[in-house]
Chains A and B, each alone.
Chain A
Amino acid sequence: VVDGQTVKYSLLSALIGGVLLAQGVSGFRGTQYLTPFLSYPMYSKAHFEGERLDVNHRVYAVLKSGERRYIDPDEDLNVDFWRYERRFVTPLIKGRSDEVAPFVDAVVARYPDVTALEVDNYPMIITRAGPKPAPSQTIVRREVAAADRSPR
Chain B
Amino acid sequence: MIRRFFAAWWRYWFREAPLLDLAIFRILIIGLQLYLLVFSSRYNMVALTEVSEVPPFLYEPLFFFDLITRLLGGHHFTINEIGLIWGATACAGVAALLGLGTRLSVPLFAIGVSTLQLWTMSHGDVHHPEAAMMIALGLLSFSPSGAVLSLDAMMRREPGRATLQDQLSATSREAKWLLLLIQWFFGLMYLSACYAKLRYGEGHWANGITLQYAMAQDGLRWNPLLGLWLSHFYWVALAGQWFILFFQGTFFLSVVFPKLKWFYIPVGMVMHVFIYLMFKAPFFQWSALYFAFVPWSAIFVRLKALRRPEGFALADQSGGVA
The interface of chain A, by Cβ under 8 A from chain B, is 9, 12-13, 15-16, 19-20, 23-24, 27-28, 30, 32-49, 51, 53-56, 77-83, 86-87, 102, 106, 122, 124, 126, 128-131, 150
Contacts and interface: CB of A to CB of B under 8 A. Distances in A.
B293 to A, nearest CB: 17
A47 B213 contact: yes
Contacts of A24: 188, 192
24 contacts: A15-B142, A16-B13, A19-B135, A19-B181, A20-B184, A34-B63, A36-B132, A40-B190, A41-B193, A42-B128, A42-B193, A45-B200, A46-B200, A48-B207, A48-B209, A53-B220, A55-B221, A83-B58, A124-B216, A126-B209, A126-B231, A128-B209, A129-B232, A150-B57
B205 interface: yes
A106 B58 CA distance: 13
A78 B53 contact: yes
Contacts of B53: 78
Contact of B130 (A16, A36, A43, A53): A36
Contacts of B184: 20
A79 B55 contact: yes
The 8 closest A-B pairs by CB, nearest first: A27-B192, A130-B232, A36-B131, A47-B213, A40-B193, A46-B204, A41-B196, A44-B196
A79 B213 contact: no
A15 to B, nearest CB: 7
A12 B196 contact: no
Nearest to B13: A16
B201 A46 contact: yes
Contacts of B219: 131
Interface in B102-128: 114, 117-118, 121, 124-128
A83 B125 contact: yes
A61 B196 CA distance: 36
Contacts, number: 173
Contact of B142 (A12, A30, A150): A12
B192 A39 contact: yes
B212 A130 contact: yes
Contacts of A15: 139, 142
A63 to B, nearest CB: 22
Contacts of A19: 135, 139, 181, 185
A134 B114 CA distance: 44
State the majority secondary structure of interface residues on A. Answer: loop
Contacts of B232: 129-130
Interface of B: 9-10, 13-14, 50, 53-55, 57-58, 62-64, 114, 117-118, 121, 124-128, 130-132, 134-135, 139, 142, 174, 177, 181, 184-185, 188-193, 195-197, 199-202, 204-205, 207-214, 216-217, 219-221, 228, 231-232, 234, 281
Nearest to B174: A12
With most chain B CB atoms within 10 A of its CB, the pick from A30, A33, A131 is A131
Contacts of A87: 58, 124-125
Contacts of B207: 46-48
Contacts of A20: 181, 184-185, 188
B247 to A, nearest CB: 13
A46 B196 contact: no
Contacts of B231: 126, 130-131
Contacts of B202: 46
Contacts of B177: 12, 16
A131 B228 CA distance: 8
Nearest to B182: A19
With most chain A CB atoms within 10 A of its CB, the pick from B55, B117, B204, B208 is B55
A129 B216 CA distance: 11
A78 B281 CA distance: 23
Contact of B213 (A32, A40, A126): A126
A127 to B, nearest CB: 8
Given A20-B188, A34-B63, A44-B199, 20 more contacts: A12-B177, A19-B139, A19-B181, A20-B184, A32-B126, A35-B64, A35-B131, A37-B131, A41-B200, A42-B193, A46-B201, A48-B207, A79-B55, A80-B50, A87-B124, A122-B220, A130-B216, A130-B232, A131-B216, A131-B231
